[in-house]
Structure 1
Amino acid sequence: MEREFIDHLNRKVTLNDLPQRIISLCPAITETLFALRAGDRIVGRTRYCIFPEDRVKQVPIVGGTKEMDLDKIRALKPDLIVMEKEENTAEMVAALEKDFPVYVAEVQSIPDAYRLIQSLGGLTGRDAEAAQLIEEIRTSFQTLPKRTGQRVAYVIWKNPYMTVGKDTYIESVLKQLGFSVPFTEMEGRYPAVTEADFQQANLDFIFLASEPFPFREKHLAEFQKICPETKVICVEGEMFWYGARMKIAADYFENLMITLLEESKNEKS
């Protein structure tokens, strides 16, 4: 039975039936499909699709998020390809939609993430599972402790320094946690910033994400030198993925906030 969907970019996507051969070109989407009990229908993924670790390794790799092996994708005969506007390129979408149904998501906020889960549930016939996952995430996020307007820069890259800016899922999460996010007035969603920008931003915290640039403990001193009065910590970038990881991330965020609160109390005493 033919089914029609409108994706997040207002494109019409027509499926002949429930998809049985899905290719996911976005790591967060791949993990979410498994969480919705549709993982056994995934026949292709990117090399960056690493969760769930115990099951995803069995799925063939068809490239990365910015490049793909079109011949390998054709050989897998997908009846649905799921992509994300930021993760993948417009050129990839254009090449694939000539031959396959392509559903493109766009996630820039927590509400967008809920919409993605709902959309994946509809596409795969897992509406009930999607509704349950959304409710579990929503409940866990509502009870998280919050900061009161403290300013945090979430750094994702080095040489040049790049931070999270406006209209991003991570910005939405940080605001949900009660933080104020600087650099949102700058051009682009992930603006390049200078040492002077950090120094002038009056930051309470600098979060160094473990991905896409692999920030580690060894980088703390570099940023502490730039902003001596700012608390600099490393955070797990994967916990700032949208989709199914949000459920796991809630506990991580709670522990992070408690740690920051305790350290703040110790510094004052």
Structure 2
Amino acid sequence: MDWLQILVLSLIQGFTEFLPVSSSAHLILVPVFSDWPDQGLAFDVALHVGSLVAVVLYFREELVRMTASWCTSLAGRGTDDDARLAWWVILATIPVGIAGLLVKDMLETHARSPQLLAFGLIVFGIVLGIVDWRCRGRRSEYQMNWKDALWIGLAQALALFPGTSRSGITMTMALLLGLNREASARFSFLLSIPVIVLAGGLEAVDLVRSGIDVDWFSLLLGALLSAISAYLCIHYFLAFIKRIGMQPFVIYRVLLGIALLWLFA
């Protein structure tokens, strides 16, 4: 891999992993505009590691509190807001874990279909736009209950459909349930941690089994660039949606979906 391919793929992964715009749709466009070879499984794992590092670093204080309170609740010494939030993240992860195992083979075969990606981008983008326009929730992520977490988790399982966007669909459901924009995004980002661990873990297992040689410099550089771009994305996205909302991303999704249909018609 040359440095330009590493840079482009890392930035795409870092920025689109947490924006409600579908990273898979962007990655499928890369070979359309370049003659680069496939980056390989090892590089995909490195990019996921970078995104994971970014979200853990950004929410490090919350994660420390949540972990400590969750352990306290396991010991039977009471449950506070941080412990409940930790339990809601765990509960919301279960549906996508089960769904991923059930449809893994189908996803590997059909998930990169440009037509399906375009359909997911447009339809779920419009749904996000309608919900963001009509729902003006006031609740924070700490005011959620187990039913909220379960509904958001079920919505997250829909992200297995190409073009949906994991962050987009979870924010949509959170807004629909009455969370405010910032809380919806923050809970979606927290939910990304176990999802990235599970997805990256499966890729890492496949990588070990394959026994292929890896270019460690490319992997480290890709992980670093992915981490930096993902961290910046989280920081500025939270400030952006609080003031402006989701509509710019809705417009972008629809236009990208139309572009995919035009390119692959």
1 or 2 for the larger relative contact order (CA 8 Å, sep ≥6)? Answer: 2
- Which TM bucket (shorter chain)? under 0.3
Task: Tell which structure's C-alpha radius of gyration is larger.
Answer: 1
Provide the TM-score with structure 1 as the length reference: 0.24
Provide the TM-score with structure 2 as the length reference: 0.24
More strand, by proportion: 1
